[in-house]
Structure 1
Amino acid sequence: MSQALVVLSGGQDSTTCLYWALDRFGAGQVEAVTFDYGQRHRIELDCAARIAAQAGTPQTVLPIDTFAVLGGNALTESGIAVQAGVDAQTRLPNTFVPGRNLIFLTFAAALAYQRGFRNVVTGVTQTDYSGYPDCRQAAIQALEQTLRLGMEYAITIHTPLMFKSKADTVRLARVLG
């Protein structure tokens, strides 16, 4: 049976993806990876640990403090308040962390490779995306192709929520239990 590594932030989307992976790949075939990237909402890390434990899923926490050093966004810099809408110049929300999902998925693929897994699952969604370019299907497909070229074997990136609304994600979570 195939094995999968789920990017688990501790939020609704990634939790739904964890249970999607357990349903698809089976208990004992799924692990979680959580990234400590200097996020202001440290409770996410605690939530991810509790969710992984409740699901009976091993979890690895990888520290990536580079984002905090780069700064310039409301997710990692305490001096920047989260604002509604998008910046007039960049047309992005101030919570956008440049390349965050691409970097997370690259590290997740490297960890999956080390574990001998061929599947990575992430909760990115293009439908309700917050203006984050690295949540678009085209970006994920391009990264998957790049990883395929850079690894000994192909690692598939699964995005079960890519075209689901928040309401659809909640419905899926209920179905999965």
Structure 2
Amino acid sequence: MKQKETALVCFSGGQDSTTCLFWALAHFESVQAISFVYGQKHSLEVEMARKIAKKAGVPFEVLDVSLMAQLTDNSLTNPELKMDEEKPENTYPNTFVPGRNMVFLTFAAIVGFQRGIRHLVTGVSQADFSGYPDCRDTFIRSLNVSLNLAMDAQFEIHTPLMWRDKEAVWALSDELGVFDLVRQETLTCYNGIPGDGCGHCPACKLRRNGLEKYLSHRHKKTE
């Protein structure tokens, strides 16, 4: 049964946030989507997000938070920095953008506050990620409390993928009836290649590994 409220989805046009967008449509009476330009090398993701939102019939807007690219050096915003394809020992991969999820959710909360929207949705996951600290459940819970205190509000941050690995995320997209859309029309690849991507960046490896496991298990079920 859908909640008779509005949800605001942090939406990048990738596999996870697209799955979350359709999850929100299945759980809330009304859904809006917000995307962010933060100096990322591949702004194509924003345009793909816009197209998916239009197809889903969801209002879509973009906020410019590109100041982030001036404050941090990482391979997603710096074209001169060679991307880590494997996680280094004792540190984060250089695809980590410090504070990104905190900034996105904070600005989403500000927008939500102005519109009377208290439900925020994000696609972070602790089950299958690249070691980013701002994808952890403890961080999301802490930020939720901080946002409520900062704005004297009752925000609820929803993380439908928190405990799902990539195989389970594919399964959810299939349950929601958008498996093909997620596979063909999203952009997860750190090298900016839509669909199945480049195949060798960290995001593509996670996505492909989960897809192969899901398709294998789905095939066995139909035998």
Q: Map 1:3-152 onto structure 2 (within 5 A).
A: 3-26=6-29, 29-88=30-89, 91-152=91-152
* Higher deviation after alignment, 102-111 or 148-157: 148-157
From the CA coordinates, give the structure whose radius of gyration is larger: 2
Query: Equivalents in 2 of 1:55, 1:140: separation in Å?
Result: 27
Q: Deviations over 1:48-96 (max 9, x none)?
A: 101110000001100001121123100111101211223445x101100
Aligned amino acid, residue 7 of structure 1: C
Unmatched tracts of structure 1, length 5 or more: none
Query: Equivalents in 2 of 1:173, 1:88: separation in Å?
Result: 33
Query: Equivalents in 1 of 2:54, 2:175: separation in Å?
Result: 20
Higher relative contact order (CA 8 A, sep 6+): 1
Aligned amino acid, residue 30 of structure 1: V
Query: Equivalents in 1 of 2:153, 2:5: separation in Å?
Result: 14
Q: Map 1:146-161 onto structure 2 (within 5 A).
A: 146-161=146-161
Contact 2:72 2:98 in 1 (8 A): no
Across the two proteins, how many residue pairs are aligned to each other? 174
Query: Equivalents in 2 of 1:67, 1:125: separation in Å?
Result: 22
Query: What's the Cα RMSD here?
Result: 1.0
Indicate the SS of the match to 2:5: coil
Identity rate, percent: 49
Runs ≥4 residues deviating over 3 A: none
Unmatched tracts of structure 2, length 5 or more: 178-223
Indicate the SS of the match to 1:141: helix
Query: Equivalents in 1 of 2:155, 2:103: separation in Å?
Result: 15
